[in-house]
Amino acid sequence: MIVAIDGPAGVGKSTIAKNIADKCGLFYINSGNYYRAVAYKHLSFGEKPAIDSEIIKTARSCSFSINNGKLMLDGKLIEHLLHNKKIDMASSVFSSIVEVRLIINEALRDASKSLDIIMEGRDITTVVFPNADLKFYLGASPEIRAERRFRQNESDLSLIELKKEIIKRDYNDLNKKFGALKQANDAVFIDTSYLTIEEVCDKVVQKILGLKQSKVSGES
């Protein structure tokens, strides 16, 4: 089974996907971490100019694997190094390069083989897994998402700065030439603005359980 979740930055996709994975026995994969890993490796070379050919070369050199549910880059655990402003912005720019997206998409599909997975990102329902068993699109306004991040106290930015950063990130994601953020026609839309994480999870879990039950009924 493949469950795909899309939505803009700061909408809670990662937390929700992780919770659902635990509840439903699915393997959670964060697609954004693959792009962040490319950005991390590229920036570690000395923050050279963002030349597309050099970024593509970095992406091709990346060896991805999953170990105990964690993303490994070139055999090393790097997830704890991937979340800061510099990498967030670089990964958004890098992910607009078509060749980089094609490389990462193949890596994501490889990771999903022989596993029941839940994956979240920006184009998982439309490009990476257009034939996913279930598709969801989570939404919330930039104001709501900025307030959530501000309350989490994981950034030194002000609330106004966080909102500006989110709006800029949304613009980049919505205007990519390939793999742009958009809602798939057959995706279930959930407005998370005034729902708790648990309430959103319950909505998704009910859909998953319903699909599992329909498959069991169809086989009997």
Predicted confidence pLDDT, tens digits, the chain (220 residues):
999 999 998 899 989 999 999 999 998 988 889 999 999 999 998 756 678 999 999 999 999 988 877 889 999 999 999 988 889 889 988 988 999 999 999 999 998 887 889 999 889 999 999 999 999 999 999 999 999 889 887 678 899 999 999 999 899 889 887 888 999 999 999 999 999 999 999 999 999 999 988 877 776 5
8 Å CB contact between 113 and 10? no
Classify the phi-psi angles of 10: left when phi > 0, otherwise alpha if psi is within -120 to 50, otherwise beta: left
Domains of the chain and any CATH numbers: 1-26+116-220 (3.40.50.300), 32-115 (3.40.50.300)
Q: How far is CA 103 from CA 17, 190, 216, in A?
A: 23, 30, 36
pLDDT at residue 48, as a whole number: 63
Cα separation of 22 and 197, whole Å? Answer: 14
**DSSP-assigned states of every residue in 160-186:** HHHHHHHHHHHHHHHT-SSS-----TT
Cα separation of 66 and 79, whole Å? Answer: 11
pLDDT at residue 111, as a whole number: 87
Sorted by sequence, the CB contacts under 8 Å of residue 177 that are 6+ apart come out as 96, 98
CB neighbours of residue 151 within 10 Å: 9
